[in-house]
Amino acid sequence: MLIVLLSVFVLAFLILFSGKFILPKYFKVFTVFPLLLFTYFSYYLINLQWEPELLLKYNWIPTLGINLDFKIDGLSVLFAMMITGIGSLIYFYSSNYLKKVAYLNRFYGYLTLFMGAMLGLVLSDNLITLFIFWELTSISSFFLIGFNNEEESSRKSAMTAFAITGLGGFLLLSGFLILGNLGGSYSITELLNSKELIQNHGIYILLITLIFGGAFTKSAQFPFHFWLPGAMAAPTPVSAYLHSATMVKAGIYVLARFTPLLSDGCYWNQTLMIVGGITMIYGAFHSVFRTDLKAILAYSTISALGIIVFLLGIGTEYAIYAAVTFIVVHALYKAALFLTAGIIDHGVHTRNITQISGLGKYMPLVGIAAVIAALSSAGVPLMFGFISKDLIYESTLNFAQWGIGLTALAVATNVFLVCSGFLAGIKPFIGKPSHEASAVHRPSFYLWFPVVVLSVLTLIFGMLPFFVDQGILKYAFDSISIVETNLYLKLWHGFNLVLGLSVLTIVLGTLLFFANQYFNSISNTLNKLNSISPENISQRLGESFRNFAFIYTRLLHNGYLRNYLIVIIVFITLLVGYRFFSTIPIQVITEDLSGFRIYELTVFIIILISIFYILFTTSRLTAIASLGIIGYGISLIFVFYGAPDLAMTQFAIDTLTVVLFVLVLFKLPSFLPFRNKKIIFRDAVISLSFGGLIMLIALQSLMYPASKEISRFYADNAYTLAKGKNVVNVILVDFRGFDTLIESIVLSIAALGVYGILKYRGINEKAD
């Protein structure tokens, strides 16, 4: 498994850095890769009937409990097969849809990286590795959404999506760390044994709040939903992939994965029901008032995600089975409708449904496939969506407390979704043609084939549900509920209330579809309410933070080095001084102080004279030379007290500093006379305060016994554990290896920044 996942990331980077040498027509070959992955995970699907759960463990950082553990069960295989199966069609579709794009290698590199991140996320059995893949999905989706980076809308949408999901990632990491601490392990499988301990802990509510924050932001739950319609700036294949089987389903996966552990029948379930219920009706309502095909599909996606969260919140046997079924139903019809929207945009160069009609005459096969997908989204009999809608109504009707109210909410949501599905999948293909035949670019095989495959699967699974029922759906249900079920999908349940509700939904949704042209006034009213929408509120909050940052920067980061030093020194003096004087009893030292030896006193006097020269000289060279003398004096003190390695380091640094200062400052004019007594007095007070505090700390430290445990540990273990005789080097490279690594990364980033600035300047000079 580890080799398979690594191969995805290796391929992504190979495409990214060498893809520019590949002709666009050869990118079709990369479709084979996700198809092979789909075949690979199909083997695990077959294996689930003998081994319902398989754990693959690979050590990574075992001392911290962070390992590359992968869990193969019904839920992970379901998502893995959706990611790779629909991914294969997306690769195939993109090879023609984006064939004229200048940076096709970047697109395929980002797409492959995203696919690998999603696979790692759904397969991980370790909280930390799951989070790492979670963040990789945010980063790679940022590149995909902002792929058309020359357009401001793409850049803004990518930044918005990254900011919202990044905030959620921070919350999710916090929740995972708390969860791992409470359960004593980062293994998700092992945590299932600590269910009662975790749920009875006083911090349980905070824990689930943090996990909700991560899941809701990623899966576009209200009020974090607004990033998803903005992500429509991405190329259509990206939209189809992110909204059907991957990005937005990541939060759903996390909620489903942790339902067996955190579901308590109260806080967890009721929160999911409330948030999911609000999201599903909000998204469905807004979807019918949009005119852009991708916007319609985006808001209906928000609603569909809300439905899944809502069902997980209900938590009954019917509800979980309905949620699992609807995950597959939504992936099939939503991918088909998104790809259809891309074909329409590619064919007539517009996605505005008020300007499109009669395209079924020019692309009949696409029209038939789109109609099937739309009928499935509406829950029409013989479609896979019909079966999932029946399960949804069974779930709400059988909910003891608020069955009628929840059913009414589900019916209202589905009525709007029927209308939006018809708007996206049927309206563009019926009626009088809006374009002349010569103005329509008919789709190639690479464009219409994926749509047909998805629609055919929707029809097959609807008419013959046993293909997925007793296989993948049952296994996924078992993973979430931890108990087996006797439920099974069937096309006909007889004449009952559920069937009546399904018929009512279709009738009302169809009437709403035909009445949609009269909704202009409602649409205008909704536009007036944009000022109080979550998106606008978040934008105003963002502006407030930006204004605060501007004021903060003007005060503390105004570009003057002396001000930076003043702020740092004053802050340290106040903070350390408060702690020092409030907690440590001041003692007067009357003994145990050794006297100055003559050579120590001589060096000390030389240092004082050098400081005097720096303060009062009018020559830069004299100040630099004095600074060097101070450094050499400190080096001698290090030697006197048995620290030759520090002395050598200090000597080298001071020598280099003096040389650089002389080279840089030699040709500058002389010091300007400075006679501002207020500033001189301020600097003197700050300097004396800081120096006096350090002196007091040093003197008081002599009154307390020194602890040698840490230094003794390093001395005893430097050679045995790290095979190094130089203790300082071993500390830097091994015991504090991460610290040194991060410092190296910072220096590398700074070097890249300097290189970029110099290169940019060189380009501008050539242009001039």
How does pLDDT run across 235-263, given as a tens digit for each residue? 889 888 988 878 888 999 999 999 999 98
Q: Are 459 and 382 in contact (CB under 8 A)?
A: yes
Q: Which two tokens stand for residue 244?
A: 């059907």
Q: Are 217 and 126 in contact (CB under 8 A)?
A: no
Q: Is the pLDDT of residue 658 over 90?
A: no
Domain boundaries, the chain: 263-518, 597-673, 707-768
Residues 6+ apart with CB under 8 A from 319: 311, 312, 313, 395, 399
Of 595, 601, 591, 609, nearest to 637 by C-alpha is 601
Output the average pLDDT for the chain: 86
Q: Which two tokens stand for residue 296?
A: 């319609």
Residues 561, 567, 569, 573, Cα dihedral to 10°: 170
Mean pLDDT of 380-409: 88
Q: What is the pLDDT of residues 595-652, one digit of tens each?
A: 667 888 888 889 889 988 888 877 778 888 888 899 899 899 888 887 887 888 888 8
> What sign does the CA torsion over 76, 79, 113, 12 have?
positive
Distance in angstroms (rounded) separating the CA atoms of residues 280 and 552: 41
Distance in angstroms (rounded) separating the CA atoms of residues 310 and 355: 36
Phi, psi (deg, nearest 5) at residue 583: -125, -20
Mean pLDDT of 219-233: 86
Higher-pLDDT residue of 411, 715: 411
Secondary structure class of 487 (helix, strand, coil): coil
Look up tokens 């075992």; give the residue.
Answer: 62
Distance in angstroms (rounded) separating the CA atoms of residues 640 and 192: 60
Distance in angstroms (rounded) separating the CA atoms of residues 105 and 101: 9
Q: Is the pLDDT of residue 369 over 60?
A: yes
Q: Are 487 and 321 in contact (CB under 8 A)?
A: yes
Q: Which two tokens stand for residue 572?
A: 């340290």
What does DSSP assign to residue 187? B
Which ranges of 469-514 does DSSP label H, i.e. alpha helix?
A: 474-481, 497-514
Q: Are 73 and 481 in contact (CB under 8 A)?
A: no
Q: Is the pLDDT of residue 590 over 60?
A: no
Q: Are 442 and 370 in contact (CB under 8 A)?
A: no
Q: Is the pLDDT of residue 372 over 90?
A: yes
Q: What is the pTM of this model?
A: 0.80
Q: What is the pLDDT at residue 514?
A: 87
Q: What is the pLDDT of residues 208-217, one digit of tens each?
A: 999 999 999 9
Distance in angstroms (rounded) separating the CA atoms of residues 754 and 271: 49
Q: What is the pLDDT of residues 460-512, one digit of tens each?
A: 998 888 888 878 888 888 888 877 777 778 777 778 888 899 999 999 999 99
